[in-house]
A and B are shown apart, each in its own frame.
Chain A
Amino acid sequence: MTSELNKKKEHSVDARSLEKDQMKQKRKEWEIEYKKLIEKHPERLQKFMTTSSTTINRIYDKTDLPSDWNYFSDLGYPGGFPFTRGVQPTMYRGRLWTMRQFAGFGGAEETNERFKFLLKSGMTGLSVAFHLPTIYGRESDHLMSLGEVGKLGVAIDTLKDMEILFNGIPLDKVTTSMTINAPAGILLAMYIAVAEKQGIRPDQIGGTIQNDILKEFIAQKSYIFPPKPSMRIITDIIKYCSEFVPRWNTISISGYHIREAGSTAVQELAFTLVDGLEYVKWAINAGMDIDDFAPRLSFFFNSHNDFFEEVAKYRAARRIWARHIQQYNPKNQRSLWLRFHTQTAGCSLTAQQPNNNIVRTTIQALAAILGGTQSLHTNSLDEALALPSEEAVEIALRTQQIIAHESGVTNTIDPLAGSYFIESLTNDMEEKTEEYFEKIEKLGGVIPAIEKGFFQQEIANAAYQYQKEIEQKQRLIIGVNEYNKNEKIEVPLLSIGEDIAERQIARLHQTKQERNKKTVEAALEKIRLAASGTDNLMPHFLEAVKAYASVGEICDVLREVFGEWKGDQLF
C-alpha cells in the first residue's frame, strides 16, 4: 500500500516537473515573440520597478516560483504555520482590524478632547503622540525644549499631565498605544498609576508601548542612552509586564520609521525583523522562556505606494518570523504570530495638490488590509504640512470604514494568495531579508552594525537614490514632478501657541511645589541604585512617578548612570 502511494507521489512529482519544463519552454517562446514586438514598439519605460527600485518582470507564472515551493510549507492555512496567509484562522471574517488614529498635540487637555471626539466617531483604540521633550526625557522648561512644547505631540512632564490626558476615559474599556521609546518604561508606569487611581488593576489594562530603541539608533533617532543599557531597560520592562501587566504589548517592533527615513521595502522588513530577533535573544539570555514574552511582541509597518510590494512584505514578514521563532521551540502557538499595526506612508504624501493624498492613502490602506494587518492608521490628507484638521482625520477614518464595509475585500481571507506575482514577490522578500541577516551577522550582530553605521548608511543611500529618481523623472510623483500646476502651496501655521508652553511650564512648577520633595529624592535615589545594579527598574519607575517625579528628572538620573548616545554624522 505504502509503496503504491509512493509510486503515485513520484508519478505526480514527475508530472509536475514535466509541466514546469513545458512551461519554461512556452515562456521562452513567448519572451522571444515579445522581444520581436518591442523592437518595433518599445516598452513605455526603460525599467519597470517598484517604489523600492526592484525590477519587475514582464509576466509571472509557475516558473518564477522555486522548484521546491510548496503550498503547505510555504503558505499553509490562515492560523497555521508558517502563517503566510494570516495569524488567525478567521481574520476579518471574525473581527475587523482595529481602526486606530494617532493623536496628540498641545497640552493634555486638548488631546483628551480629541480622544473623546475620536472614540465617539467610532475609533476603537487610542494612540498617543508625545511632544519631543517627553520623547527625549527633558522637562518642558529645559533649554533644549525651547520651541517644542506641545508641538508634535502632547506635553507630559509628570503624572499630573497623564491624569488629565485620560480623564473620563475608563482604561479597562479602551486599549492605548503609546509612541514612546527611550523613556517608555516611565510612561507605562504613569499609565499603570492612572489606572490604579481609576480603581483598575494592572492586569486589566491593555495597550502597547513602542519601546523599540533599536530602530531609534537606525532611523528615527530619538535615542537617549547607548544601545546596551537601552536594551537592559527594555528587558526589564518585558520581564515586569510578563508578570504584572500580561495584556500589555511590550514592544512594537517598528519598520515604519525605517521606511520614513528613506529605506526600501526590503530594508524595512529585514531591519525590523533583525531588531525583533535581537530583543528575543536578550530576553532569552535574561532567563525568560520564549512563551513568557513572544506572544506580547507586536510589529509596526509602513504602507507605501507600491501595492503588490507592500502586500508581499506583510506576508513574507509573518513567514520569516514564524520560521525563526520556531527555533526556540515555543509551546504556545501565539509565540510564532507576527501581529502588526500599519500606518500609511507619511513620506508619500505631497504638499502639492493635497487632496490627491486621499487616493494615495486609500491604496496604501488597501495593501495593509490585503496583507492582513491587525490595526491601521490612515494618514490625513494635510499631514505633509501640518497636524491634521478634524475634517481631514474624519476622511482618513472613513477611508478605512469604506474599505471594511463597502469594498468586499474583507469577505475572504488572503485573497491574493496563489497569484504567481504575489507569491514570487513574497519569496523574493524573504530571500533578500535572509541575505541582510547574514550581512548583519558578519558585522557582529545588530548593535555592532549600529555602531558601525551600517543601517544608517544603507538607508541614506536608498533615500538618495529615491530622490535622484524623482529628479531625473525615472519616477513620477503626480503633482510634484508631473501633472503639476501653478498653485500656491499654503503651509498653515502650527496652531500650537506659546500659551500652551506657558501653561505646561506653570503646571510643572506647581506640581513640583505641591509634591513631597523627600519622597521624590528617595525614589530617584532608588532608581540610581537599581540602574547601577541589576534590580528591575520598573517598580522603581512606578514609585517615582507616583511621587510626581518628572520624566526629565528620572531620565537625568539614568543619563548619569548610563551615559548618552551621540549619534552619527553619516550621509
Chain B
Amino acid sequence: MTRKIRILLAKPGLDGHDRGVKVVARALRDAGMEVIYTGLHKSSEQIVEAALQEDVDVIGLSSLSGAHMALFPRIMELLEKNKMIDDTLVIAGGIIPDIDIPELKKIGITGLFGPGTDTDEIADYINSNLKRPL
C-alpha cells in the first residue's frame, strides 16, 4: 500500500480570505490526502519552513488580495534555495489575473485554480502531477 499524499495549504501575507482554502482543505482530506493548513498571515519563510518540517509532496498557496506576484516568486526562490523545488508540486488558487499566469507558469506554478473550480479538479491535478513517487 502506498502512503498518502501530504499537502501543505498556506495563506501567505496579510490576506484573510480563508473560506476557499478551508473548503479545499476539507475536500482534499475527503479525497484521501493528508492536509496541513498553516492558518493565516504567514510569511514566505514560515511557509517554506513548514513545508520542510512537514515533508510535504505538495504546497497549495491561496491568495485573494492581489499580492501574489510579490509573494509567490519569493516562495519559489526559497524552495529552490532549500533544494525542495524538484520534488515539491506547487499549486495556487484564489484571484489570479490572466496577465500573471505566464509568469507564474514560468517559475513553476502550473496548477492555478480560480473561482468556481470543482474541488475534484484540484485533487485530480495533484494526483497526476506529483513530482516525487509515493
Contact = CB atoms under 8 A, between A and B. Distances in A.
A85 interface: no
Q: Which of A136, A145, A147, A463 has the most CB of B within 10 A?
A: A147
B120 A352 contact: no
Nearest to A479: B116
Contact of B16 (A146, A221, A471, A496): A221
Contacts of A277: none
Interface string B4-17: 00000000011110
Grouping DSSP codes into helix (H, G, I), strand (E, B) and loop, the A interface class, with mixed when no group exceeds half, is loop
A325 to B, nearest CB: 31
Contacts of B67: 146-148, 151
Contacts of A143: 43
Contacts of B98: 490-493
Contacts of A72: none
A463 B14 CA distance: 22
Nearest to B71: A147
Interface in B28-45: 29, 35, 37-41, 43
B55 interface: no
Given A145-B14, A463-B23, A471 B66 contact: no
Contacts of A463: 19, 22-23
Contacts of B68: 147
B66 A152 contact: yes
A220 B69 CA distance: 23
Given A136-B14, A467-B119, A569-B39, A494 B70 contact: no
B18 A221 contact: yes
A139 interface: no
A216 B73 CA distance: 29
Nearest to B63: A147
Name the residue among B26, B29, B68, B116 with the largest chain A CB count within 10 angstroms.
B116
Contacts of B1: none
Interface residues of A, number: 45
A144 B41 contact: yes
A571 B97 CA distance: 27
A350 B116 contact: yes
Given A143-B43, A260-B19, A351 B114 contact: yes
B85 interface: no
A351 B20 CA distance: 15
A337 B66 CA distance: 39
Contact of B96 (A136, A480, A491): A491
A261 B64 CA distance: 13
A132 B41 CA distance: 11
Contacts of B77: none
B43 A567 contact: no
A479 B29 CA distance: 28
Contacts of A147: 13, 65-71
A480 B116 CA distance: 7
B119 to A, nearest CB: 7
A467 B99 CA distance: 28
Contact of A262 (B19, B27, B39, B41): B19
B19 A261 contact: yes
B97 A492 contact: yes
A568 interface: yes
A351 B116 contact: yes
B115 interface: yes
Which 7 pairs, one residue from A and one from B, show the smallest C-beta to C-beta distance?
A: A147-B70, A147-B67, A221-B16, A571-B25, A132-B14, A571-B22, A569-B39
21 contacts: A132-B13, A145-B14, A146-B71, A147-B66, A148-B14, A148-B66, A148-B67, A151-B66, A261-B19, A350-B116, A386-B97, A460-B22, A460-B26, A463-B19, A463-B22, A467-B23, A471-B120, A489-B114, A567-B39, A571-B22, A571-B25
Interface of A: 132-133, 135-136, 138, 143-148, 151-152, 220-222, 260-262, 347, 350-352, 384-386, 460, 463-464, 467, 471, 480, 489-494, 496, 566-571
